[in-house]
Amino acid sequence: MVTDIETNMIEGLKEGSPKAQQMMVERYGRHVFNQVVRLLPSVEDAEEVYQDVFLKVFLNINRYEEGKASLKTWVSRIAYNESITWLRHKRQQMIYFEDEDGEAERLSETEVEATLGHPDPETVQLLRAALKHLPPEERSLITMFYYEEMSVKDIAYVTDSPPNTIGSKLFRTRKKLCKIIQMLQS
């Protein structure tokens, strides 16, 4: 549901109001930057994409449909797509953990919950390090679900995927993350 403030801001954006643009950046800027910086390899790259996100928001505000998603989720979708597009164009060579032998898949949900359920400060540090070993798409799922506390439905909208697919990917990625943490601990 769009609030009165958001409705006024959207109308201002449609009219090209600098005040509405500033309000949009103030309202969603931190959220967008946090989302982008978690996906991209450097802060400088994130700053570049951050600017592109808001430019795209301002140019495409007429395409926002209130019934499909909240304004914040719509902006998140643009941020996600701009980040993934940037990564594809840069094609940076990065090494990610691949579960080729199925070790992570064999972990029980109890083992995963023991590692990720209620992490202590040391595990939180390991979790942050482990996230860097995930491909950007998987890292974004984890950050949207846990850090940004987005629903599976909203993540599905952002990534343009069916909710069941997101649920399955989150389940597999949690196991993969647990395995990476175990490897970092040894």
**Mean per-residue pLDDT for 81-87?**
91
Other CB atoms within 10 Å distance of the CB of residue 112: 19
Please check whether residue 85 is in contact with residue 40, taking contact to mean a CB–CB distance below 8 angstroms.
Answer: no
Q: Can you give the pLDDT at residue 95?
A: 46
How is 34-76 classified by DSSP, letter by letter?
A: HHHHHHSSSHHHHHHHHHHHHHHHHHHGGG--TTTS-HHHHHH
CATH class of 109-185: mainly alpha
Nearest of 106, 112, 158 to residue 137 by alpha carbon:
158
Assigned CATH topology for domain 4-90: Rna Polymerase Sigma Factor; Chain: A (1.10.1740)
Q: Report the chain's mean pLDDT, rounded to a whole number.
A: 84
Q: Which of 89-93, 139-143, 147-151 has the lowest mean pLDDT?
A: 89-93
How many whole angstroms separate alpha carbon 93 and alpha carbon 70?
Answer: 35
pLDDT of 14 strictly over 60:
yes
112 versus 154: the higher-pLDDT residue is 154
Tell me if 166 sits within 8 A of 141, measured CB to CB: yes
Where residue 174 falls among pLDDT bands split at 50, 70, 90? confident
pLDDT digit string, tens, across residues 19-76: 999 999 999 999 999 999 988 888 999 999 999 999 999 999 999 998 899 999 999 9
Percent residues over pLDDT 90 in the chain: 48
Q: What angle do CA 147, 171, 138 make, to 5 degrees?
A: 55
The string of pLDDT tens digits covering residues 89-117 is 875 545 455 555 555 555 556 655 655 65
Query: What does the domain layout of the chain look like in residue ranges?
Result: 4-90, 109-185
